[in-house]
């Protein structure tokens, strides 16, 4: 049957007694098999009159108070319009026999469609009611029992060929039903497999989303660090320019002092010369109370005339830069001084910076600025980018001293 939007479905059925007389006033129910719920569903009721059943169904209208009935009818019409007629049967509303099984009047049918009028005809044919003897012979089904046959069987003559044909049809119906059940189980298994695959994909999606969030947070931290470093660099650049300018000024002042100074070229003893230098350094190393700097480990290199006097004492004579240009360089001696403080003065404590997320190179630069030393340790940590620091001791913001060793743990992911 081709796909078509049906306007009406007509059911035909003829039922005669075992004595070949029309059956009348028998209320029957039309049912179809719902494969999704593995159950027979009642579709409509009608009454057999004068041995004939003529039942016409129209498409369901919008849902109303009989929503459940309309839902059942709608499902059947969807299958009929989709060229997928389900198994159907006709059963008596009130049992004819005293049995616990479901009595079935007819379960085989032929269908045809009129394309022009969009009518679907379903014909269950003509059947005869079975006598008790015939019913007992075919009573070997678990849940139902046929009570009519497409072949007449009277109380006097038993048509074994008709019973055999009926049994063949019933077995075919049973086999078809088993095939449908297997197909249903296969579809359910495929559905479960698809659901598992969907859950796995959803889990992978969530993992990727979490990884992207971690990467985004890391990128934001790096960008913030870069912005902070750029600000510091700009500040250092400005400070450096100021220092360079001050250095140029000092050099100009030194040059001016050198040009204007009256050099005392009187020879003095080496001991007096050294004492004078140390005294001058000591004066320069007497800072204000708020200063945290000091002069220590000073190296000096001077060129001068070194001679011995009549007492064999070594004398030093400083020469002005102008005269030094015209003198023989071999006549000048080079004097090296290394002056170290005997007792170093303690400096104020320094503040420990935050080293989290930095590489070992960046950490060393940070610590070198405050005069601290690094003790690097590498540990596995999959939550931190490879090579980035995630723990430090002392903690950020604590006070440390110069030359203090700082332990920093870096991530190492193979």
Can you list the alpha helix ranges (DSSP code H) found in 103-159? 132-137
Average pLDDT, the chain: 82
**pLDDT recorded at residue 282:** 64
Which residue would you say has higher pLDDT here, 57 or 253? 57
Residues of the chain with CATH 2.60.40.1120: 8-158
**pLDDT recorded at residue 157:** 47
Burial class (CB in 10 A: 0-12, 13-18, 19+), 163: middle
- Residue range 226-239, pLDDT digits in tens: 899 899 989 888 88
**In which residue are the tokens 């060929």 written?**
161
Rounded alpha-carbon distances, angstroms, from residue 72 to 33, 226, 266 = 11, 68, 128
Q: Does domain 8-158 have CATH number 2.60.40.1120?
A: yes
Q: Is the pTM higher than 0.75?
A: no
**In which residue are the tokens 């008596």 written?**
92
Residues of the chain with CATH 3.30.10.20: 347-411
Query: At a CB cut-off of 8 Å and minimum separation 6, what does 7 contact?
Result: 58, 59, 117, 118, 119
- Residue range 151-166, pLDDT digits in tens: 887 655 455 777 788 8
pLDDT for residue 330 is more than 70: no
**pLDDT recorded at residue 311:** 66
- The answer to whether 265 touches 315, Cβ cutoff 8 Å, is no
Confidence of residue 345 (pLDDT cuts 50, 70, 90): very low
- Residue range 10-42, pLDDT digits in tens: 999 999 998 899 999 999 999 999 888 899 999
Burial class (CB in 10 A: 0-12, 13-18, 19+), 106: buried
CA angle 186, 187, 193 (to 5 degrees): 90
Q: How far apart are CA 94 and CA 146, in angstroms?
A: 15
- The answer to whether 124 touches 108, Cβ cutoff 8 Å, is yes
Residue 103, SS3 per DSSP: strand
Q: How far apart are CA 404 and CA 375, in angstroms?
A: 10
- Residue range 78-134, pLDDT digits in tens: 888 888 899 999 999 998 877 788 999 999 999 999 989 999 999 999 999 988 888
Domain 347-411: CATH class, spelled out? alpha beta
């Amino acid at each position: 049957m081709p796909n078509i939007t049906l306007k009406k479905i007509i059911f035909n059925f003829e039922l005669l007694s075992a004595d070949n007389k029309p059956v009348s006033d028998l209320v029957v129910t039309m049912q179809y098999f719902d494969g999704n719920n593995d159950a027979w569903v009642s579709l409509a009721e009608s009454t057999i009159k004068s041995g004939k059943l003529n039942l016409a169904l129209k498409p369901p209208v919008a849902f109303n108070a009989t929503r459940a009935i309309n839902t059942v009818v709608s499902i059947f019409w969807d299958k009929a319009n989709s060229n997928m007629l389900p198994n159907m049967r006709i059963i008596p509303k009130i049992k004819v026999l005293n049995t616990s099984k479901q009595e079935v009047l007819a379960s085989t049918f032929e269908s045809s469609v009129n394309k022009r009028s969009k009518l679907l005809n379903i014909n269950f044919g003509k059947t005869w009611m079975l006598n008790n003897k015939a019913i007992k012979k075919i009573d070997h089904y678990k849940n139902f029992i046929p009570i009519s046959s497409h072949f007449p069987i009277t109380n006097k003559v038993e048509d074994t060929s008709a019973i055999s044909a009926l049994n063949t049809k019933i077995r075919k119906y049973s086999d078809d039903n088993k095939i449908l059940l297997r197909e249903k189980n296969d579809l359910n298994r495929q559905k479960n497999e698809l659901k598992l695959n969907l859950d796995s994909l959803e889990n992978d999606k969530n993992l990727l989303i979490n990884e992207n969030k971690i990467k985004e947070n890391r990128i934001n931290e790096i960008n913030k660090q870069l912005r902070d470093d750029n600000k510091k660099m700009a500040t250092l650049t400005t400070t450096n320019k100021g220092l360079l300018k001050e250095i140029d000024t000092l050099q100009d002042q030194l040059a001016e002092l050198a040009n204007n100074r009256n050099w005392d070229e009187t020879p003095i003893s080496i001991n007096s010369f050294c004492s004078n230098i140390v005294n001058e350094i000591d004066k320069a190393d007497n800072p204000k109370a708020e200063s945290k700097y000091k002069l220590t480990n000073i190296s000096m290199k001077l060129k001068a005339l070194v001679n011995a006097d009549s007492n064999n004492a070594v004398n030093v004579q400083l020469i002005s830069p102008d005269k030094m240009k015209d003198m023989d360089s071999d006549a000048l001696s080079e004097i090296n001084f290394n002056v170290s403080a005997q007792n170093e003065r303690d400096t104020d404590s320094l503040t420990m910076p935050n080293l989290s997320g930095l590489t070992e190179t960046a950490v060393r630069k940070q610590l070198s600025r405050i005069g601290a030393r690094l003790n690097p340790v590498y540990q596995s940590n999959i939550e931190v980018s490879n090579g980035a620091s995630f723990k430090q001791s002392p903690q950020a913001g604590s006070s440390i001293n110069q030359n203090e060793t700082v332990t920093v743990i870096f991530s190492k992911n193979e």
